[in-house]
Amino acid sequence: MRSSSQVDDSEHYEGPAKLKIWWLVVAVLTAGIVVVLGLILGPASLGVREVLVEVLDRLPFIDTDSGLSAREQAIVWEIRLPRVVLGLLVGSMLATAGASYQGVFRNPLADPYLLGVAAGAGFGATVAIVSGLGDGIGTFDAVPMLAFAGALIAVTLTYLVGFSAGRIDPVTSLVLAGVAVASFFTAVQTFVQQRDSETIRQVYFFVLGQLRTAGWDEVLLVSPYVGACLLILLLLRRRLDVLGVGDEEAGSLGVDVRLVRLVAVLAASLGTAAVVAVSGLIGFVGIIVPHTIRLIFGFSYRIILPLTILFGGAFLVGADLVARLALEPAEIPIGVVTAFMGAPFFVLVLRTSRRL
Amino acid sequence: MEAISCRSLRVSFGTTEVLRGVSLEVPKGGWTTVVGPNGSGKTTLLRTIAGLQASQGLIQIDGHSLGAYSRREIAKQIAIVPQQPVIPHGMKALDYVLLGRTSHLGFFETEKRQDIEKARAALDELDVRFAESRTMGTLSGGEIQRVVVARALTQGSPVLLLDEPTTALDIGHQQEMLEAVDGLRRRLNLTVLATMHDLTLAGQYADALILLERGEVVASGTPQEVLTEEQITQHYGASIKVIDDGFGPIVTPVRRGTNSPE
């Protein structure tokens, strides 16, 4: 190789794309602040100090007295904290699934519902509600169970249909199959929903999304899926960067493109199906969060994925605060809040990406 | 010893046969260039040898059948510089070159220090080290082409396939590019298989030419043997003159009807 002096001045260069520690710190602090706000704000206003001491008190080996009454303690532990934790899980999963889909399909508008997860979950939930099997509350209620099953069936169908189309390229055929499967499930869901006017309101609430919980059940239900799926996607971050050069070149660089796409889509879809089962269909998170991070921090998935997990969770907890407090004591469905913020944002992303 | 050897290679897109029984040998450490008119199957031939296109027939890389290799193993044997590389949005040159290390990393692995050193060495080799922190979109056509070759070099594969490496470049940058590749080939003992449109440049940089027409090899041998007025007129349907100045045949177009000397 050439003279070594050229290699020695490598400090003058930035080096490869890398997640900076202070970005992570900012993301963790943001999430922390939103979580604290989620705990103290509400119909019963609680002090920051009392709530923090109360949380510390529950940690092992720490014994203090927060001064909160038993009723206030219950508000923190049984109502607000599970809701905030669920918000973190759902937000990070939806945002990360969106980012991964955008990488795998090389389409900036891909969102976690692209392959029919939402329509399948909506159908499953509608069947559960209309048939009177469940009311949407609790871990082993029929609504999240059938929603989860519906979502998985829809994605599986999309995959089967997408792979059976031989003539066109695999990305296009998968996306088109998703459109077809989603339309079909939406049609069936609407049909089932219209046959029973008594439950339309309940179905409607599921479709708009909500983070109402009955305690820790929903958190326990989704956290294994979210944890495993986020881990897999995070580990795939470099492969997702390689897919940026297209299937053919990624193949020539030694990537088994079909395998990477299969693993990423399965992880993103499974995680999405799990969170949709408990939270309903919360839109736009999968598009707003990753695109904001791309524009601010950079285009490598090594940067996007870790930050998306943290900011995705923070964003949804924040949106849930707006949903809870804006029209207090009434609650706005969180899907309305995210869509309300997402639609203008969407226009912004479109405008900037045209300029670049 | 042959670096690449193909026997009766056939490729069809639907009912259209693009390669119709191509057989060829590429000697180790040499530079072989495939020439031929548009649509003769040059790019398809390169893609097929790189294992990116399903085919019938036999392809051997370094004496081993291509079909026995996984994607990753092929990438360790063959690096390809595509004609129109896809440049990911917002990616910096160093990150782009580092993509070349993919075949050396595990499924869930990211680059180590030594990979970064290899990428920087490749940027140095092609004299584009200054661009490492720049976004690909801000580089000139000639610089992008060099960075793409640096990525291929970073793969550490003994065989380098170049698909039309000079089409987007002006005449000075074309020569620079080909000189750079030739230098690498000699220093690192690489085998080069390229496709090219410019017959004069093709003849000047290759030890052997293969003339492809409608998916068949119609001539092969040294540049002097392949680049004759008769063959080029016949297979390209072109009106040309071949001048030999001692450095290889110079193929120059002549306007029809005016090619008789007065």
Nearest CB to B52 within list A13, A241, A248? A248
Geometric angle at alpha carbon B94, from B158 and A249, rounded to 5°: 55
Contacts of B71 in chain A (CB under 8 A): 251, 254-256
Nearest CB to B71 within list A235, A239, A251? A251
CA dist B18 and B15 (Å) reads 9
Geometric angle at alpha carbon B258, from B253 and B262, rounded to 5°: 120
CA dist A268 and A312 (Å) reads 14
pLDDT of residue A166: 65
pLDDT in tens, A113-169: 888 888 998 899 889 888 877 665 555 678 888 888 999 999 899 988 887 776 677
Mean pLDDT of chain A: 85
Nearest chain A residue (CA) to B104: A254
**φ and ψ at residue B226, rounded to 5 degrees:** -90, -40
pLDDT of residue A327: 86
Q: Taking Cα atoms as reference points, which of A152, A158, A147 lies closest to residue A123?
A: A147
Give CA B236 to chain center in angstroms: 21
Q: Taking Cα atoms as reference points, which of B80, B70, B17, B20 lies closest to residue B49?
A: B80
Helix or strand or coil: residue B128? coil
pLDDT of residue A137: 56
Which residue is it, tokens 């540049």? Answer: B223
pTM, entire model: 0.88
Contacts of B75 in chain A (CB under 8 A): 252-254
CA dist B86 and A127 (Å) reads 46
Residue B110 is encoded by which pair of tokens?
């990211």
Asked if A5 has any chain B CB less than 8 Å from its own CB, the reply is no
Residues 61-90, chain A: which have Cβ within 8 Å of B? none
pLDDT of residue A3: 43
3-state secondary structure A331-353: CCCHHHHHHHHHHHHHHHHHHHH
Contacts of A15 in chain B (CB under 8 A): 94, 116
Residues 259-318, chain A: which have Cβ within 8 Å of B? 294, 298-300, 302
Residue B220 buriedness (CB in 10 A; 0-12 / 13-18 / 19+): middle
Number of H helices, E strands in chain A: 16, 0
Higher pLDDT, A348 or B18: B18
Contact residues of B toward A, CB < 8 A: 47, 50-52, 70-72, 74-76, 78-80, 82, 85-92, 94-95, 98-100, 102-103, 105, 107-111, 116-117, 120-121, 124-125, 129, 132-133, 155
Domains and CATH numbers, chain A: 19-346 (1.10.3470.10)
Nearest CB to B86 within list A238, A239, A246? A246
CA dist B138 and B131 (Å) reads 9
CA dist B254 and B146 (Å) reads 33
User: Chain A: nearest CA to B254, how far in angstroms?
Assistant: 39
CB contact under 8 A, A244 and B88: yes
Nearest CB to B124 within list A1, A241, A254? A1
* Residue A221 scores a pLDDT above 80: yes
pLDDT of residue B159: 96
Higher pLDDT, B83 or A172: B83
Say if CB B253 and CB B198 are below 8 A apart.
Answer: no
pLDDT along chain B (262 residues), means of 10: 92 92 94 95 95 93 90 95 91 95 88 93 93 92 93 95 91 92 94 95 94 95 94 92 86 76 52
Residue B166 is encoded by which pair of tokens?
């000079």
Contacts of A256 in chain B (CB under 8 A): 70-72
Tell me what ipTM this predicted complex has. 0.90
Residue B156 buriedness (CB in 10 A; 0-12 / 13-18 / 19+): middle
Strand partners, B244: B249
